Structure 1
Amino acid sequence: MSEQITVREHARLTTAEVPASAVNTARVPASAFEWLVAENVRLRGLGNGARLVELESRRELRLDNYVGVLESPCGTRIEILPKTLESDYDITAGRSLLQRMLARCLDLTSRQSSLTSLRTFDMPLTEWVAGQFLQVVDHLVKRGLRFDYHPVQGDLCYLRGRLLVARQIRQPPGRAHYFQVEHDVFDADRAENRLLRSALDVIRKRTREPKHWRLAHELAHHLREIPPSQNQPEDFRRWRDERLMAHYAPLRPWVSLILHEQMPLTVAGTTQGQSLLFPMERVYEQYVGIGLSQKLPLDAKLTKQAASQYLTRHREQNWFQLRPDFLIELGGQRIVADAKWKLIDANLSSSGEKYGLSHADFYQLHAYGQKYLGGKGTMYVFFPRTSKFSEPLPPFHFDRDEQLTLHVLPFDLEACGPVALP
């Protein structure tokens, strides 16, 4: 029997009894617990360093900083939402926040996911993805699928197209009355439509929402003549972005997400269930980048993940590449900016508490300032805005001459922008 569990990132999962309303701790069946442990080992074995959970005891584990949905083979669906600082965690607000951030990161149009619909949408993440995908497909089918010519070879009892002479000569005597020909067919069997059909098949099998199930089967009837993709990586490479295919552009993020193509945010999906996982740090980093690109002046140049500097040289080689999240060039000056998905408290202002800031983060930012700014200039670091961190902190100086200054700024997740830039 399927079971729905909603928690937030870094929550603890246990096989023991816990309060039903807890979002920091939840009880899962023993089968789901064992599957999570095994899945964590599998992901680590892929060599990408991904850690899904941390085993704390034989009956308890802690989730890492991934958000999204995990579905175990036994039918247990675990929805993981972003962690906030508020004591009374609002599941609907957390779900809406994640959907809004993903909508921005996937570069969706307002027709596909307006802010109003995101605020009121209270379905689990996978059903939200299904609903958004089906809306785009429905719009595409009503507008019309893209057809194209492609060659087809076969043996016909009449001559059509080009005769394949070599194959015709090798015909056995009993089939001499058939023609080996090659001709062009004008139909919807092209890479984009095959991927669309494959993604629709996934949604049709996995959705549990009645209206999504009905729409998915209705759309499947319209696409019944299109075969599913047999080579998804190759079909993604053949996806065309020309002018005549512009109405397919809103569809690609959803198809890519559902089929687990190489998206910058997703982690490899599991063989059982429809699992969508996103590293929250990277989601936040992309979200901040989108907000900065909208708030900066038009003449500013924003470079994401600059990678031109290294920490050291050794044996005539550069070692330890330094990659700040953002490098801003404006008016002949450079500004280094970084995004940190951590919750800090402006009230913890003593030298011992340090607002909850990390030593390692400041060492990292100091290295960025030395290598990218030459030890002189301005840096920004953006933390999520919360009720305990709503205004910029006093500036930090890395030297007595105050030539290298760091501004710690809150980033408004609702408005997708920094609260204030110095």
Structure 2
Amino acid sequence: MTPVVALVEHAPARSFALPDAVGRALTAMKILEEAGPDAYAQGAWRLRAGSKVGVVALTLPGGESVTVRITPKVPVARLLFLIGYSNDPRGWRDGGVDLAEHDELLPALAHAVERQIDRALRQGLLQGYRTTDESSHVVRGRLLEAQQIRRRFGMFLPAEVTFDEFTTDIAENRLLRSAVDRLLRLPGVPGAVRARLMRQRSRLVDIMPLVPGQIPLSWQPTRLNVRYHAALRLAEAVLRGSSTEHLPGGLRMDGFLFDMNGVYEDFVCKALGEAMRPHGGRSVLQVRNIHMDEGNSIRLRPDFVWYGDSDKPTIVADAKYKARESRGFPNEDLYQMLAYCTALGLPEGHLVYAKGNVSHTSHRVRHAGTVLHQHAIDLDQQPAGLLAEIEVLARHMVHGVAMSSQGGHPLGAA
């Protein structure tokens, strides 16, 4: 039976009996926040999970394997909602798939992917045109003259041609096939879900999967592939979080991990952008062209910037998943936000945390007058309540802008 190392996101370190090769691999791959030999127990390693959640299978050269399973602190259904909303705010929701029977991440994700693929394929496989370049003894499509001259040196056949083929082997189906293959390779998928995934794989048997490590293919949402949208969003999430590594010493690592820092950041920024729509302007995520110095050598990258009707930066916000200090929010986040406000010329900025030990608070910076807000979002509530809280936060930000423009005191905003 494969030993399982069961950890919880950001929980205290625990000691596990592990082969040294596995412990060293976990240390080198930086999967965990802490991984090192236990000073008080021979042959044991002290492990502590950080913000990465999911499952990883390590296989030793002799065939022995160890599974590392990291459970998120938030309910699994909520995590899948955060991921789904970040990918498509108007698409997949909690109610799309019943996850009541699965309280672990991998079984729930595999179940959700299988159900959405089943819905997508009920009307058959989607077909589309795919551009193909090949060497052929039958000329069809268009002759690639430059390639023909360079490769064939005056020979007429085989011909280098390009043509559009109407086929089911398109990006959408390849993504679904690859996600199914990925889930079937992971330990911990329940037998009933695995059987249904095998059924979906048989429906996609003629589709070429992606090469392991290949970047997921791009696709464009259209009215023709609308029934695929929810399944494709989940498939992309599986493939983005997946990895297959061959490590020194013959170790093989296979699994998928979600970084809760990135999941939370993506959700907050996307939800804020949606909540700001009624107020006009435009939202930009992960702004790259902001510099702190006049020489443009110190680059800043705020998570969220809202440009008002004048197309000037009006609101800046940064999402922080965890308050690391028990007494409150980390001071270094305030320094970072002050740099954003200074570079953008804004009177206030906003830090948005997952619920911590301190409620909303604000600080006015001496000699600068800049106001730094720190908000806390409760991830334990249902999606409707979570989105409602984001909308309240957006109104608070807009209210602060209005007060600042009128010479008011933003610290008084609720």
Q: TM-score, normalised by structure 1?
A: 0.69
Q: Deviation at 1:130?
A: 1.3
Q: Note the 1:157-168 alignment, pairs <5 A.
A: none
Q: Secondary structure at the match of 2:307?
A: strand
Contact 2:316–2:349 (CA<8 Å) still a contact in 1? Answer: yes
Deviation per CA, 1:345-380, whole angstroms, max 9, x where unpaired?
A: 8xx8xxxxxx4332322221221121112xx51211
Percentage identity across paired residues of the two chains:
23
Give the match for residue 102 of structure 1.
83
What residue identity is the alignment partner of 1:35? V
Contact 2:83–2:237 (CA<8 Å) still a contact in 1? Answer: no
Contact 2:281–2:307 (CA<8 Å) still a contact in 1? Answer: yes
Q: Deviation at 1:276?
A: 1.8
| Alignment partner of 1:403 is 2:369 | yes
Give the match for residue 47 of structure 1.
none
Label 1:115 to 1:293 Cα distance change in 2 as closer, same or farther (>3 A): farther
Q: Deviation at 1:305?
A: 1.8
Greater Cα offset, 124-133 or 355-364 = 355-364
Q: Deviation at 1:321?
A: 0.7
Give the match for residue 9 of structure 2.
9
What residue identity is the alignment partner of 1:328? W
Q: Secondary structure at the match of 2:201?
A: helix
Give the whole-Å Cα distance in 2 for the aligned partners of 1:128 and 1:378: 41
Q: Secondary structure at the match of 1:236?
A: coil
What residue identity is the alignment partner of 1:64? G
| Alignment partner of 1:77 is 2:67 | yes
Give the whole-Å Cα distance in 2 for the aligned partners of 1:392 and 1:234: 40
Give the whole-Å Cα distance in 1 for the aligned partners of 2:80 and 2:258: 12
Give the match for residue 222 of structure 1.
203
Give the match for residue 381 of structure 1.
351
What residue identity is the alignment partner of 1:8? V
Label 1:339 to 1:149 Cα distance change in 2 as closer, same or farther (>3 A): closer
Give the whole-Å Cα distance in 2 for the aligned partners of 1:103 and 1:184: 33
Give the match for residue 30 of structure 1.
18
Deviation per CA, 1:228-273, whole angstroms, max 9, x where unpaired?
A: 3459848714x4544323333323333333334xxxxx37444546
Give the match for residue 136 of structure 1.
116
Give the match for residue 329 of structure 1.
307
Label 1:381 to 1:76 Cα distance change in 2 as closer, same or farther (>3 A): same
What residue identity is the alignment partner of 1:356? G
Label 1:275 to 1:106 Cα distance change in 2 as closer, same or farther (>3 A): farther
After superposition, the CA RMSD in angstroms is 3.9
Q: Deviation at 1:138?
A: 0.9
Give the whole-Å Cα distance in 2 for the aligned partners of 1:382 and 1:149: 44
Structure ID, larger Rg: 1
The one of 281, 286, 293 aligned to 1:312: 293
Label 1:273 to 1:134 Cα distance change in 2 as closer, same or farther (>3 A): farther
Give the whole-Å Cα distance in 1 for the aligned partners of 2:338 and 2:165: 62
Give the match for residue 244 of structure 1.
224
Greater Cα offset, 137-146 or 412-421 = 412-421
Q: Deviation at 1:132?
A: 1.4
What residue identity is the alignment partner of 1:78? V
Label 1:274 to 1:97 Cα distance change in 2 as closer, same or farther (>3 A): farther
Deviation per CA, 1:208-232, whole angstroms, max 9, x where unpaired?
A: 3122122122223323333434598
Deviation per CA, 1:90-135, whole angstroms, max 9, x where unpaired?
A: xxx54344333223233376666428845x3534212222111111
What residue identity is the alignment partner of 2:16? V
Give the whole-Å Cα distance in 1 for the aligned partners of 2:57 and 2:336: 37
Q: Secondary structure at the match of 2:366?
A: coil
Give the match for residue 213 of structure 1.
194
Give the match for residue 201 of structure 1.
181
Give the match for residue 392 of structure 1.
360
Label 1:369 to 1:111 Cα distance change in 2 as closer, same or farther (>3 A): closer
Give the match for residue 49 of structure 2.
63
Q: Secondary structure at the match of 1:69?
A: strand
What residue identity is the alignment partner of 2:18? A
What residue identity is the alignment partner of 1:383? Y
Greater Cα offset, 189-198 or 404-413 = 189-198
Q: Where does structure 2 lack aligned partners over 5 or more consecutive residues?
A: 39-44, 144-151, 247-251, 397-412
Contact 1:53–1:64 (CA<8 Å) still a contact in 2? Answer: yes
Contact 1:343–1:383 (CA<8 Å) still a contact in 2? Answer: yes
How many equivalent residue pairs?
355
Contact 1:302–1:328 (CA<8 Å) still a contact in 2? Answer: yes
Contact 1:191–1:229 (CA<8 Å) still a contact in 2? Answer: no
Give the whole-Å Cα distance in 1 for the aligned partners of 2:200 and 2:96: 26
Give the whole-Å Cα distance in 1 for the aligned partners of 2:309 and 2:210: 49
Q: Deviation at 1:60?
A: 1.9
Give the whole-Å Cα distance in 2 for the aligned partners of 1:276 and 1:303: 29
Give the whole-Å Cα distance in 2 for the aligned partners of 1:105 and 1:169: 52
Q: Where does structure 1 lack aligned partners over 5 or more consecutive residues?
A: 12-23, 44-49, 84-92, 172-181, 261-265, 349-354
Give the match for residue 16 of structure 1.
none
Q: Deviation at 1:392?
A: 1.8
